[in-house]
Structure 1
Amino acid sequence: MLLRFRGLMVERLEIESFLTLAEELHFGRTAERLLVSRARVSQTIRRLERRIGAPLFERTSRRVRLPPLGRRLHDDLEPGYRRIQEGVARAQAAAKGIEGVLRVGYLGAAAGEFVLDVTDAFTARHPGSEVQIRETQISDLLGPLRTGEVDVLVTQFPVDEPDLTRGPVVFSVPRMLAVPSGHPLAERESVSLEDLACDKVFACIGEVPVYWQEHNAPLRTPGGRPVERGRSAATLQETLALIGAGKGISPVGADVARRHTPRGVAYVPFTDAEPVEYGIVWRAAGETARVRAFVQAGTEAAAAAGDR
């Protein structure tokens, strides 16, 4: 594509190469970002410099610098080129039905941090979109999805509901056992699932699927010993308060141990429990291009975090 600037015809690749090199000041990194060869970047910049009639970069074997002429051209071109990119992105989003408001729910602080990261990536990619975020509670685990209060939910698995679509696991954390600080298990370096039979394990009150509750707090240990249910709690804070008061124990994720250290509560890692997994869920009947775009952004964020 050719663009005309005051009678000068400039190719799109010339502008992209110039702006990217002005930012990176490195031919190799510029080539990687533009998905072209380093030689192609060099040829493109030389061609642009011939069109301009003067060097736009100062090159040595050790560094690349932007002289005053190059800086002035960058300051002139960058705002307009950014507006072109944003305009194209908005047009594409509108054509796909992505622009507009997306309501995203999350369960727990770790899920909230993940949602914030995905939201940044999603809104940068789709500038015409707005993400509204709200925290959900265990006591109404899937209710906000079903009532339409949120369009997408990042929550703790398992989720196996015929009216909901479950996406991939986006992150997981080790499972730990929260116990009263004076409890015999608090003196241990680790515990096993068999230790759940040593005390009452808290249940969740509210609209919580039975399979979800039994996955996180089973009724029997792997060896078949019964696990006694303790009092029901509606929130994590209530559960930790009861544990601190010596009323029982509860499996939790390591993210809870990092963020919540109430008086009287100790955390002991499991040696044999599966990690706590979080994933994205949405209504099967409410799937839209906007929802799919957010799920894609979340899946990409999870993959990128796994590569680090």
Structure 2
Amino acid sequence: MERVELECFLLLAEELHFGRTADRLRLSRARVSQLVQRLERRVGAPLFVRTSRRVALTALGRQLRDDLAPHHRAVGAAVARAAATARGISGVLHVGFSTPLAGEIVMKAAEALRAGHPELGVEICEVPLSDPFGQLRSGAFDVQLTELPIREDDLGEGPTLLTEGRVLAVSSGHPLSAGGKVSLEDLAGVPLLTIAGELPDYRLEQHVPARTPSGRPIRRGPAVTHMQEALMLVAGGKGALLSAAHTATYYARPGVTYLPFEDADPIEYGLVWRARDDTGAVQVFARAALEVAKDAQLAGTTAPTRQTSRATIRSETWRPDTSYGGPRKRP
């Protein structure tokens, strides 16, 4: 028995219309009728009642449909799983995220993958502030969405997936909080909280620059390992925190004011993975993340405003980079 006979029978049993069945199979109506008649000859009895007005299943046709359909679906699923395994798209993909915004993109991408790739599971976990690449190198993560650029010879990175403005978190009692916005030169007047741990120098400079653009030194404040710890110190007047604009939404709290920068470059986010492990699973996740970045409700031209204890954020939060074409390795 040919597979096309079974597929034709099951589609006609679903559509109960020769024309629509022919369209879905990309066959002529005459060919569909021929295939059904061939199957009926094999069975030895009619499977459909045909009139000028309608097509209906006979009792035997319903029995055959009910017996065949689960097995047909199982065969299709088995072939899809085998193809996915051959492309490296199976098992569990462990994905890290460095910020709440990155986490939202990762979570929505994982949800989107469930429909198209049910054979691929996704587990999500936060990237530690003090160890941005350790989980990736150890194999605990397969890929992570994090700030760019990176300068790690053993890691590959994709192009920018989305960008976001920067803010300075200060105590609501600090003089800067009354201005509504800040410049990079203002950093010379307040100690910046730093991150504990063994961060690469370039990574630490991204979070806690040593000097302003004009060369004025920036004092370093206490070292932190967690975001809540940092905000507690900010509220207590122990230092300021250089952060991403979405922090004002996800970490709003009394005593902390978020001030947008008028002259800082935006933060860029992209996917990072082990250079030797650019797998099919990583690639399909990258495509899903791109679609989420383009379609998510957060992808407006301006950020939703949110009142903090003393100020309102009025800057662009983030936008998707629609040129993203999938992972690529660093040259």
Identify if the C-alpha distance between structure 1 residues 15 and 219 changes in structure 2 by more than 3 Å, giving closer, same or farther. Answer: farther
Check conservation: 2:167, 2:242, Cα contact below 8 A. yes
The Cα of 1:81 is off from its aligned counterpart by 7.5
The Cα of 1:298 is off from its aligned counterpart by 2.4
Deviations 1:212-240 (A, max 9, x none): 22123211111222111111111211111
What CA distance in whole angstroms lies between the structure 1 residues aligned with 2:30 and 2:182?
67
> Which residue of structure 2 lines up, in the alignment, with residue 24 of structure 1?
none
What CA distance in whole angstroms lies between the structure 1 residues aligned with 2:153 and 2:118?
33
Identify if the C-alpha distance between structure 1 residues 204 and 48 changes in structure 2 by more than 3 Å, giving closer, same or farther. Answer: farther
Identify if the C-alpha distance between structure 1 residues 270 and 78 changes in structure 2 by more than 3 Å, giving closer, same or farther. Answer: farther
Identify if the C-alpha distance between structure 1 residues 81 and 272 changes in structure 2 by more than 3 Å, giving closer, same or farther. Answer: farther
The one of 244, 257, 260 aligned to 2:235:
244
Identify if the C-alpha distance between structure 1 residues 49 and 283 changes in structure 2 by more than 3 Å, giving closer, same or farther. Answer: closer
- Is residue 131 of structure 2 the alignment partner of residue 140 of structure 1? yes
Structure holding more helix per residue: 1
Amino acid at match of 1:133: I
The one of 105, 113, 130 aligned to 1:114:
105
What CA distance in whole angstroms lies between the structure 2 residues aligned with 1:228 and 1:90?
56
> Which residue of structure 2 lines up, in the alignment, with residue 4 of structure 1?
5
Identify if the C-alpha distance between structure 1 residues 244 and 90 changes in structure 2 by more than 3 Å, giving closer, same or farther. Answer: same
| SS of residue paired to 1:4 | helix
The Cα of 1:11 is off from its aligned counterpart by 9.5
Check conservation: 1:178, 1:250, Cα contact below 8 A. yes
Whichever of the two has the greater Rg, that structure is: 2
What CA distance in whole angstroms lies between the structure 2 residues aligned with 1:259 and 1:174?
15
| SS of residue paired to 2:158 | strand
> Which residue of structure 2 lines up, in the alignment, with residue 286 of structure 1?
277
Check conservation: 2:191, 2:240, Cα contact below 8 A. yes
Q: TM-score, structure 1 length as denominator?
A: 0.74
- Is residue 161 of structure 2 the alignment partner of residue 170 of structure 1? yes
Check conservation: 1:143, 1:207, Cα contact below 8 A. no
Amino acid at match of 2:266: P
> Which residue of structure 1 lines up, in the alignment, with residue 58 of structure 2?
none
| SS of residue paired to 2:284 | helix
The Cα of 1:87 is off from its aligned counterpart by 3.9
Identify if the C-alpha distance between structure 1 residues 231 and 84 changes in structure 2 by more than 3 Å, giving closer, same or farther. Answer: same
Check conservation: 2:97, 2:146, Cα contact below 8 A. yes
| SS of residue paired to 2:198 | coil
Check conservation: 1:180, 1:266, Cα contact below 8 A. yes
> Which residue of structure 1 lines up, in the alignment, with residue 302 of structure 2?
none
What CA distance in whole angstroms lies between the structure 2 residues aligned with 1:44 and 1:11?
15
What CA distance in whole angstroms lies between the structure 1 residues aligned with 2:167 and 2:30?
61
Deviations 1:61-87 (A, max 9, x none): xxxxxxxxxxx9xx9899787656544
Q: CA RMSD in A?
A: 3.8
Identify if the C-alpha distance between structure 1 residues 94 and 265 changes in structure 2 by more than 3 Å, giving closer, same or farther. Answer: same
- Is residue 215 of structure 2 the alignment partner of residue 224 of structure 1? yes
What aligned pairs does 1:135-214 form with structure 2 within 5 A after superposition?
135-214=126-205
What aligned pairs does 1:117-132 form with structure 2 within 5 A after superposition?
117-132=108-123
Task: Report percent identity of matched pairs.
Answer: 41
The Cα of 1:283 is off from its aligned counterpart by 0.7
Single out whichever of 83-92 and 251-260 deviates more from structure 2. 83-92
The Cα of 1:101 is off from its aligned counterpart by 1.7
Single out whichever of 130-139 and 179-188 deviates more from structure 2. 130-139
What CA distance in whole angstroms lies between the structure 1 residues aligned with 2:203 and 2:291?
26
For structure 1, the residue ranges without an aligned partner over 5 or more in a row are 20-39, 57-71
For structure 2, the residue ranges without an aligned partner over 5 or more in a row are 17-22, 37-47, 55-61, 297-319, 323-331
The Cα of 1:44 is off from its aligned counterpart by 8.6
The Cα of 1:116 is off from its aligned counterpart by 0.9
Deviations 1:275-303 (A, max 9, x none): 22221111112332222332233234334
Identify if the C-alpha distance between structure 1 residues 136 and 249 changes in structure 2 by more than 3 Å, giving closer, same or farther. Answer: same
Check conservation: 1:104, 1:153, Cα contact below 8 A. yes
